[in-house]
């Protein structure tokens, strides 16, 4: 049975580790700089918790680094040399970050993960990159044990996907947060927005998003847009966001048209 060492105990590490365990892989160790975090995840899957990279098991088949992007290089630099495949799980970190390892790669699960919220890993696309064909093949095999949608993508394609994900997921979710703040300020319930959010998402999934757009910016209704900006008066950042996104919409549907400010 293939042996895996997990480095990290956050959102992705947790979901990935549980999915791999459920698929029958042997999770040997969970490393976290904080032993109690390592212990929490290790206990879930019957692994050994470690908080010192010097104590890492040397003979695993895979070392999956699922720590914050900025910490991947530091963790990799402080790991012992191993002959197993060392792979990270980030969208925007280059493959070369792991080049000190003879066999290195990337296993990027293309979904938004929050530790305590369940996900169905089988439907999550997993993007694979490797420095050699045998590494790619073994990572594809590993990922195919937990996902029905495994694809190869080099660092450039992965970075492009990550940027698209920031727009489709992170930015959209932040728009919900802004909406909630505005509703709260007027004593209105966020639940009122839920049918709208649901239908907008369904339209984006079933129509071409460019055809699904509605609203004052698509109609180039500068009167309404001006009123909205005025109403946001005390919130300069929200005004700027409103104007910038509206400008992008107007430019998409009315290219070359002047924009109010």
Ligand X SMILES: NC(=O)c1ccc[n+]([C@@H]2O[C@H](COP(=O)([O-])OP(=O)(O)OC[C@H]3O[C@@H](n4cnc5c(N)ncnc54)[C@H](OP(=O)(O)O)[C@@H]3O)[C@@H](O)[C@H]2O)c1
67 near ligand X (CB under 6 A): yes
Nearest distance in Å: CB 168, ligand X:
12
Q: Which is nearer to ligand X, 68 or 148 (CB)?
A: 68
Q: Does 73 bind ligand X (CB under 6 A)?
A: no
Taking CB under 6 A as the criterion, the residue among 4, 6, 12, 98 binding ligand X is: 12
Q: What does the DSSP 8-state code read for residue 175?
A: H
CB of 252 to ligand X, least distance (A): 28
Please give the residues from 75 up to 94 whose contact with ligand X meets the rule CB under 6 A: 75, 89-91
Residue whose token pair is 């890993």: 121
* DSSP codes joined into one string, 69-121: HHHHHHHHHHSPP-SSEEEE--SSS-GGGGTTSSSEEEEEE-S---TTS---G
In sequence order, which residues have a C-beta less than 8 Å from that of residue 42 and are 6 or more positions away? 27, 29, 30, 48, 49
Q: Site mask, ligand X, residues 100-119, x = CB under 6 A? A: ---------x--xx------
Residue 78 or 198 having the CB closest to ligand X = 78
Site for ligand X in 16-55 (CB under 6 A): 32-34, 37
The one segment of 7-15, 21-29, 125-133, 197-205 that binds ligand X by CB under 6 A: 7-15
Taking the complex as a whole, the smallest distance from the CB of residue 223 to ligand X amounts, in Å, to: 40
Is residue 121 within the footprint of ligand X (CB under 6 A)? no
The interaxial angle of helices 222-231 and 236-253, nearest 10 deg, is 160
Query: Is 164 an interacting residue with respect to ligand X (CB under 6 A)?
Result: no
**In 174-222, where do the E strands start and end?**
none
* Interface with ligand X (CB under 6 A), residue from 6, 20, 47, 66: 66
Q: How far is the CB of 237 from ligand X (least distance, A)?
A: 24
Of these, 3, 10, 48, 235, which contacts ligand X (CB under 6 A)? 10
Edge-to-edge strand list for the sheet holding 85-88 = 48-50, 26-31, 3-7, 62-65, 85-88, 104-109, 126-130, 150-152
Name which of 12 and 232 has its Cβ closer to ligand X: 12
Long-range CB contacts (within 8 A, 24+) of 40-46: 40/9, 41/6, 41/9, 41/13, 41/14, 41/17, 44/14, 44/17, 44/18, 45/17, 45/18, 45/21, 46/21
Enumerate binding residues for ligand X (CB under 6 A). 8-13, 32-34, 37, 66-69, 71, 74-75, 89-91, 109, 112-113
């Amino acid at each position: 049975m293939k042996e895996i060492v997990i480095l990290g105990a956050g959102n992705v590490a947790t979901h990935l580790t549980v999915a791999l365990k459920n698929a029958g892989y042997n999770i040997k160790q969970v490393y976290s700089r904080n032993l109690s975090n390592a212990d929490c995840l290790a206990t879930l899957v019957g692994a050994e918790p470690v908080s010192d990279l010097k104590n890492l098991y040397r003979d695993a088949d895979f070392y999956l680094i699922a720590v914050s992007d900025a910490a991947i290089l530091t963790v990799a630099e402080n790991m012992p040399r191993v002959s197993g495949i060392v792979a990270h799980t980030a969208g925007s970190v280059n493959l070369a970050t792991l080049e000190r390892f003879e066999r290195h790669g990337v296993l990027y699960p293309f979904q938004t993960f929050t530790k305590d919220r369940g996900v169905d890993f089988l439907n999550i696309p997993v993007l694979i990159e490797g420095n050699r064909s045998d590494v790619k093949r073994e990572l594809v095999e590993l990922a195919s044990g937990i996902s029905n949608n495994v694809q190869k993508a080099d660092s450039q394609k992965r970075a492009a996907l990550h940027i698209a994900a920031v727009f489709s997921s992170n930015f959209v979710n932040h728009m919900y947060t802004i909406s909630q703040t505005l509703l709260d300020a007027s004593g209105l319930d966020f639940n009122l927005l839920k049918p709208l959010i649901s239908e907008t998402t369904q339209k984006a999934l079933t129509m071409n998003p460019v055809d699904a757009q509605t609203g004052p910016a698509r109609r180039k209704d500068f009167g309404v847009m001006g009123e909205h900006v005025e109403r946001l008066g005390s919130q300069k950042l929200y005004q700027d966001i409103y104007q910038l996104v509206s400008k992008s919409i107007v430019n998409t549907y009315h290219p070359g048209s002047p924009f109010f400010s």
